[in-house]
A and B are shown apart, each in its own frame.
Chain A
Amino acid sequence: MHEKMLRRDCTLQLGRKRLSENFLKGGATMHVKKYLLKGLHRLQKGPGYTYKELLVWYCDNTNTHGPKRIICEGPKKKAMWFLLTLLFAALVCWQWGIFIRTYLSWEVSVSLSVGFKTMDFPAVTICNASPFQYSKVRHLLKDLDELMDAVLERILAPEPSHANATEALNFTIWNHTPLVLIDEQNPHKPVVLDLFGDNHNSSASSSPAPGRTCDAQGCKVAMRLCSLNGTVCTFRNFTSATQAVMEWYVLQATNIFSQVPRQELVAMSYPGEQLILACLFGAEPCSHRNFTSIFHPDYGNCHIFNWGMTEKALPSSNPGAEFGLKLILDIGQEDYVPFLTSTAGARLLLHEQRSYPFIKEEGIYAMSGTETSIGVLVDRLERKGEPYSRCTKNGSDVPIPNLYSDHNTTYSIQACIHSCFQDHMIRNCSCGHYLYPLPRGEKYCNNQDFPDWAYCYSDLRINVAQRETCINLCKESCNDTQYKMTISMAEWPSEASEDWILHVLSQERDQSTNITLSRKGIVKLNIYFQEFNYRTIEESAANNIVWLLSNLGGQFGFWMGGSVLCLIEFGEIIIDFVWITVIKLVAFSKSLQRRRAQAHYASPPPTVAELVEAHTNFGFQPDVISHSPTTGTYPDEQPVPIPGTPPPNYDSLRLQPLDVVESDNEGDAI
């Protein structure tokens, strides 16, 4: 800016000098220069030549409502209007600030719609609560089960007579993470009792007859977790023996199963044709072939109906149980792994097509011997994403690799959190947990290869900080679908129909005439859309740019009757202001120079003409130049002031001919 001003300054001076030179030389170049100069002047020329003029002109001609009134009435009103205008301008600025801030906060408004429409039937995942058939995994769990029986015996009836039975036990599993009894009868000095303390050497102090005097009140069962070759040990306490033995068993079973290849595990679990006895979708019969099988570490083989991975998703266009999915399942309760699961039933989850079923977290149970009817309402939420809400469209901007992408499933926050946990597990314990998928090149934890893993895992599992980092790293996905279920149950099959239903089902499954099924093992499921099957919540930007502009306009209009053009006007005036300042500064510096130059002469006082010249704005003479080319003689050139000149034609004095409509200067003034 400053530079620019300076440059203009230079051109001004230059122009002036050249002009004088041209006068001497004369010729065609003079006209061009003159024209240029004129243009320059026109550019410089604002509506006035002093600040006051400018202001008055602005107030009079602006389109905003307030300023006009400032100048047209008496002093009191003038002051009032001046204050009012200032106040309104301040108000406008304030409100604009609010609006712009509101706009930048990226708020959303939601629209909600409820109704019925033809929709894709949800994907239905069905698992058995027990992951494996006991008859098929017995050989793997044999040692563990024997040990478990012995443990239970020890806890419940600590009689030494059973000691001989323990001889045959495989203590390699036991020694790794043993269960201990902690005698807290003396709260200040708890005694740790090993359950099989008398049979083998153990690091803890053991009394000869453990548990003899122990019951639930005095003793607590705890799990000893050791790392670094048994040098660092912690006890994981439980308030009840039930939990302790179950946790212990699950930990050991995990260790065993993690060493078995996936294909064998799949073969040991419940196959689709055994689990699904009957299937009907709407009026169409379906079978286990319509289900996609995946292996879930907790629940074994899970079967997904209508996953939409290979073929198109099935739509359902009618509400009511008749048009939904009807299933009869056989959970085979008698073949459950006794210590692994204590709950019997089918596990069930409704989820979106192409999404991974997190059945442990979100699934529900269906009880055997009952008919469970599930009315579904699809609760869908669609969000706008950044910058409106913190969510991710497809998970590509989340810093954690999705381990569940093997199945080609979509991103979900559960997948992210589980992947994050596995990530931490591998980093801390250098092996992957059996319950979560493995990243490439890693191995599942087991006692042989990673002796410290149980210690490490139980440490990580109760670590709250770890979970919070995962939660902070993972973003929820923008499109979220929940299936709201209305669950009701009735006894099935009824007493009267039980006989024939079981007969038919047995015949179909085993081709036997006898009943091979029992009501303890069969589950009936009806899944259907409710009368209103969707509720969609959709986000839209609450404040868009149109909203912002119209509100800015509204505010400006309301307080001052202004528009964008008024702003431009104002900007113009500011430019003029700057321009006047520049001109004044130039004149001032010029006069300073002159004064300094004159100081050398010292003797004659400055003439009036010189004074006048000092105050004259050199930039502006050409106003009259067109009328009288002779005035091209510049004050610089003027040799000596001529005394007795005719009275000056001061512009201001032209007031007198006011009664005649004055128009000659009009064009220049504006």
Chain B
Amino acid sequence: MAPGEKIKAKIKKNLPVTGPQAPTIKELMRWYCLNTNTHGCRRIVVSRGRLRRLLWILFTLTAVALIFWQCALLVISFYTVSVSIKIHFQKLDFPAVTICNINPYKYSAVRDLLADLEQETRGALKTLYGFSEIKSRKRRDAESWSSVWEGTRPKFLNLVPLLAFKEGEMGKARDFLTGRKRKVSGSIIRKESDVMNVHESKEVVGFQLCSNDTSNCAVYTFSSGVNAIQEWYKLHYMNIMAQVSLEKKINMSYSAEELLVTCFFDGVSCDARNFTLFHHPMYGNCYTFNNRQNETILSTSMGGSEYGLQVILHINEEEYNPFLVSSTGAKVIIHRQDEYPFVEDVGTEIETAMATSIGMHLDGKQRWNLLLPPNGLQTALTSYTESFKLSEPYSQCTEDGSDVPVENIYKAAYSLKICLHSCFQTKMVEKCGCAQYSQPLPPAANYCNYQQHPNWMYCYYQLHQAFVREELGCQSVCREACSFKEWTLTTSLAQWPSEVSEKWLLSVLTWDQGLQIKKKLNKTDLAKLLIFYKDLNQRSIMENPANSIEMLLSNFGGQLGLWMSCSIVCIIEIVEVFFIDSLSIIARQQWQKAKQWWAQRQAPPCPEAPPSPQGQDNPVLDIDDDLPTFTSALHLPPAPGTQVPGTPPPKYNTLRLERAFSNQLTDTQVPAEF
């Protein structure tokens, strides 16, 4: 044996091999506990005495449990948002302002279309409430009341009869048309709430809607005849107007010049050309100011009423439809340029003979999905939000509605309301075969009318009931939009024109209207509207993720470090030792057992064959050979003196390399001591 080999063997003997090449699991565990970077394990092995060891085991386990608990909490709270508020004082974009007259069409223009309906309504009023003459405050051409009533057979009351019910005998009803009592079958649906107890003994008014075969009927009753007749009128009105072409309807309604007497914006005059037409089925011609006509959005750089929009509206009460609308004035909706103005749902109503001043504050809200934090992680975070798209980790909102399975039938940006209306309209077309009049038409559909869809009303009411009770599933499908702009409005009223200025103001305004109106304007025909920013403060509320992924990791790191002084390296270690190494040891043992068993079976005659020592079987042990630590030193020539004769004792500093390892050596010998 060469001297080098000898030394090697010696070292091997002295050096306990307790690396991951350890032959048994127990050895491996011991090695792990001693060499790991975490703090608890080492103390388990090093401690003497059972109690102490037990305590350390307990401590370590507690620490591990705490880590798991805290990390779980961190993960759970990861998808929370924090809100931040940004304030800017800046030039603000002026919102789009849509102004509608409450009355959709000039009554003189639609009279021809609605003549029959008006007669029948009057007739119904007469039979129901017994009065014959309507005293109109303003209408000059009040016709004689019951002129052609006895003429042709009424078609509207036939289709949907108005009925009066006596309380108590619900099955029976009095028909207005014939005056006869008739049996009413079908479910009675009350429009009034069940909680309210209205007039016990009074008659209840309602109307009956039947499906195709008239076997399936529903009766809608109202606590007040006002509601009943208005609802009934509206049904027929929609039916009639659905058959009129859009152009004709626009012509029947008010023109911009008629509606707007004066206009002033940001200190500069404006006129009807600054407004774009928007036809609403129930409100007729509406006019939108600042609707991005030539791709520029007007903005104000000063607060105060002087720098906002000032308009004087002409509201001609004489042309009002007496049954469709019962209030006078105009409706104003302040909205985003790409937003659809829901005239019937939102908006501020303004009164005649008043100056209505609407001060605005802009409250912008943006949710996290849209807005990325301004730090450098944008790209990384974008990819995260996109990958989380399906689960929408932060909130249930949608950016542009493209991920909502409802087709947007409005030509406007997505909003929850648009989604709900589109959903209802789509369902309506599906179920009833035609579209409801007050909402836009989906592609390849027609508005409902009697001629083509005789039973659409029944269908509509049924569907509407289901929609309100959330049975159509629209509410669950539609999600709110991620960002929206909202204007907080402060509305105040003042008398306008004042008594002393009334005279001259009205005459000048009449001159302004010029040819359109031959007579002098009355102050109840006019309304003044001021819309302005109170100040140019914009408060935007933003939702940001409270935690970013690096925060989560650093919190993990903090927890791991606090309880066990552990890091990701420790986790890799654990994986390495507990999974790879221990599995390989187990596999090796099993292999050996199998080999032994095989050998026993193969050679039963010589069972005394000594099993090879385990340590040498370990194939990994061979690696020892090329461990740089010792071999480099060991391969040195055994008799150095002969090679360099007569040299002075040099102090090669380089050769002190092994110092570092002698250090390690002593370290590895520690376990051997106990």
CA distance A103 to B554 in the complex (A): 15
CA distance A638 to B648 in the complex (A): 10
CA distance A383 to B656 in the complex (A): 64
Shortest Cβ gap from B90 to chain A (Å): 6
Shortest Cβ gap from A370 to chain B (Å): 8
Shortest Cβ gap from A219 to chain B (Å): 9
Interface flag for B536 (CB, 8 Å): yes
Q: Is the interface of A mostly helix, strand, loop or mixed?
A: mixed
On whether A620 and B653 interact (CB within 8 A), knowing A554-B557, A644-B645, the answer reads yes
Identify the stretch in B120-128, B458-466, B567-575 within 8 Å (CB) of chain A at 4 or more residues: B567-575
Nearest opposing residue in chain B for A556, CB measure: B557
0 or 1 for each of B7-41: is its CB under 8 Å from A? (1 = yes): 10011001000011000000000000001010000
On whether A242 and B312 interact (CB within 8 A), knowing A554-B556, A561-B565, the answer reads yes
A654 contacts which chain B residues (CB < 8 A)?
Answer: 658
* Interchain CB contact under 8 A, A110 and B85: yes
0 or 1 for each of A371-382: is its CB under 8 Å from B? (1 = yes): 010000000010
Nearest opposing residue in chain B for A413, CB measure: B89
**Which residue of A345, A381, A652 contacts B636 across the interface (Cβ within 8 Å)?**
A652
Shortest Cβ gap from A334 to chain B (Å): 6
* Interchain CB contact under 8 A, A99 and B550: yes
Interface flag for A489 (CB, 8 Å): yes
Identify the stretch in B42-50, B493-501, B605-613 within 8 Å (CB) of chain A at 4 or more residues: B493-501
Interface flag for B93 (CB, 8 Å): no
On whether A557 and B569 interact (CB within 8 A), knowing A344-B495, A360-B305, the answer reads no
Nearest opposing residue in chain B for A152, CB measure: B504
On whether A557 and B648 interact (CB within 8 A), knowing A364-B490, A364-B492, A365-B493, the answer reads no
Interface flag for A499 (CB, 8 Å): no
Shortest Cβ gap from B364 to chain A (Å): 15
B306 contacts which chain A residues (CB < 8 A)?
Answer: 360
Interface residues of A in 328-360 (CB under 8 A from B): 333-334, 336-339, 341-345, 358, 360
CA distance A562 to B490 in the complex (A): 58
Interface flag for A2 (CB, 8 Å): no
Interface flag for A389 (CB, 8 Å): yes
A-B contact count (CB 8 A): 385
Interface residues of B in 604-654 (CB under 8 A from A): 623, 626-627, 633-634, 636, 640-641, 644-654
A641 contacts which chain B residues (CB < 8 A)?
Answer: 646-648
* Interchain CB contact under 8 A, B494 and A102: no
Shortest Cβ gap from A57 to chain B (Å): 5
Interface flag for A312 (CB, 8 Å): no
0 or 1 for each of A644-663: is its CB under 8 Å from B? (1 = yes): 11111111111110110111
A239 contacts which chain B residues (CB < 8 A)?
Answer: 262-263, 269-271
On whether A243 and B560 interact (CB within 8 A), knowing A341-B498, A661-B666, the answer reads no
Interface flag for A461 (CB, 8 Å): yes
**Which residue of B82, B87, B633 contacts A389 across the interface (Cβ within 8 Å)?**
B87
0 or 1 for each of B202-216: is its CB under 8 Å from A? (1 = yes): 000000000000000
On whether A243 and B269 interact (CB within 8 A), knowing A109-B84, A110-B84, the answer reads yes
* Interchain CB contact under 8 A, B651 and A616: yes
On whether A665 and B633 interact (CB within 8 A), knowing A612-B650, A652-B652, the answer reads no
- Interface size bracket, A side: 35 or more
Q: Is the interface of B mostly helix, strand, loop or mixed?
A: mixed
Interface flag for B671 (CB, 8 Å): no
0 or 1 for each of A257-279: is its CB under 8 Å from B? (1 = yes): 00000000000000000000000
Which of the listed residues A68, A102, A360, A620 has the most CB atoms from chain B within 10 Å of its own CB? A102
* Interchain CB contact under 8 A, A487 and B656: no
Shortest Cβ gap from A71 to chain B (Å): 8
**Which residue of A101, A109, A650, A661 contacts B655 across the interface (Cβ within 8 Å)?**
A650
* Interchain CB contact under 8 A, B512 and A489: no
CA distance A663 to B557 in the complex (A): 39
* Interchain CB contact under 8 A, A414 and B535: yes
Shortest Cβ gap from B541 to chain A (Å): 9
B261 contacts which chain A residues (CB < 8 A)?
Answer: 240, 242
CA distance A238 to B304 in the complex (A): 20
* Interchain CB contact under 8 A, B498 and A216: no
Shortest Cβ gap from B669 to chain A (Å): 7
Interface residues of B in 500-535 (CB under 8 A from A): 500-501, 504-505, 507-509, 511-515, 528, 534-535
Interface residues of B in 208-261 (CB under 8 A from A): 261
* Interchain CB contact under 8 A, A655 and B490: no
Interface flag for B553 (CB, 8 Å): yes
B interface residues, how many (CB within 8 angstroms): 122
On whether A647 and B495 interact (CB within 8 A), knowing A414-B535, A551-B554, the answer reads no
* Interchain CB contact under 8 A, A361 and B566: no
CA distance A52 to B653 in the complex (A): 13
CA distance A216 to B509 in the complex (A): 10
A554 contacts which chain B residues (CB < 8 A)?
Answer: 553-558, 561
Shortest Cβ gap from B179 to chain A (Å): 41
**Which residue of B550, B572, B633, B654 contacts A49 across the interface (Cβ within 8 Å)?**
B654
* Interchain CB contact under 8 A, B535 and A652: no
Nearest opposing residue in chain B for A551, CB measure: B554
* Interchain CB contact under 8 A, A338 and B550: no
On whether A464 and B301 interact (CB within 8 A), knowing A413-B535, A648-B644, the answer reads yes
CA distance A551 to B556 in the complex (A): 10
Nearest opposing residue in chain A for B274, CB measure: A239
Nearest opposing residue in chain B for A617, CB measure: B653
CA distance A129 to B493 in the complex (A): 12
Interface flag for A669 (CB, 8 Å): yes
Nearest opposing residue in chain B for A654, CB measure: B658
Nearest opposing residue in chain B for A669, CB measure: B659
* Interchain CB contact under 8 A, A362 and B269: no
* Interchain CB contact under 8 A, A471 and B90: yes
B646 contacts which chain A residues (CB < 8 A)?
Answer: 608, 641-645
Interface flag for A555 (CB, 8 Å): yes
* Interchain CB contact under 8 A, B557 and A555: yes
B11 contacts which chain A residues (CB < 8 A)?
Answer: 658
CA distance A173 to B195 in the complex (A): 70
* Interchain CB contact under 8 A, B627 and A74: yes
**Which residue of A217, A338, A369, A558 contacts B500 across the interface (Cβ within 8 Å)?**
A338
* Interchain CB contact under 8 A, A361 and B505: no
Identify the stretch in B283-291, B327-335, B371-379, B391-399 within 8 Å (CB) of chain A at 4 or more residues: B371-379
On whether A646 and B515 interact (CB within 8 A), knowing A60-B660, A73-B20, A471-B301, the answer reads no
Interface flag for B303 (CB, 8 Å): yes
**Which residue of A109, A343, A665 contacts B494 across the interface (Cβ within 8 Å)?**
A343
Shortest Cβ gap from A25 to chain B (Å): 25
Shortest Cβ gap from B511 to chain A (Å): 5
Nearest opposing residue in chain A for B19, CB measure: A73
Interface flag for A127 (CB, 8 Å): no
Interface flag for A423 (CB, 8 Å): no
B557 contacts which chain A residues (CB < 8 A)?
Answer: 553-559
Interface residues of B in 328-364 (CB under 8 A from A): 354-355, 357, 359, 361
On whether A50 and B512 interact (CB within 8 A), knowing A343-B498, A462-B267, A554-B556, the answer reads no
On whether A152 and B377 interact (CB within 8 A), knowing A381-B87, A642-B646, A647-B641, the answer reads no
On whether A240 and B649 interact (CB within 8 A), knowing A474-B89, A551-B551, A652-B633, the answer reads no
Nearest opposing residue in chain A for B663, CB measure: A669
Shortest Cβ gap from B87 to chain A (Å): 7
A50 contacts which chain B residues (CB < 8 A)?
Answer: 653-654, 657
Interface residues of A in 529-552 (CB under 8 A from B): 537, 539, 542, 550-552
CA distance A564 to B655 in the complex (A): 33
Interface flag for B387 (CB, 8 Å): no
Task: Give the 9 A-B CB pairs with smallest separation, nearest first.
Answer: A558-B557, A554-B554, A652-B655, A647-B641, A561-B567, A216-B514, A345-B494, A344-B498, A365-B494
- Chain B positions within 8 Å of A, measured between CB atoms, are 7, 10-11, 14, 19-20, 35, 37, 82-87, 89-91, 261-264, 266-271, 301-306, 312, 354-355, 357, 359, 361, 374-377, 488, 490-501, 504-505, 507-509, 511-515, 528, 534-537, 539, 550-551, 553-558, 560-561, 565-570, 572-573, 623, 626-627, 633-634, 636, 640-641, 644-666, 669
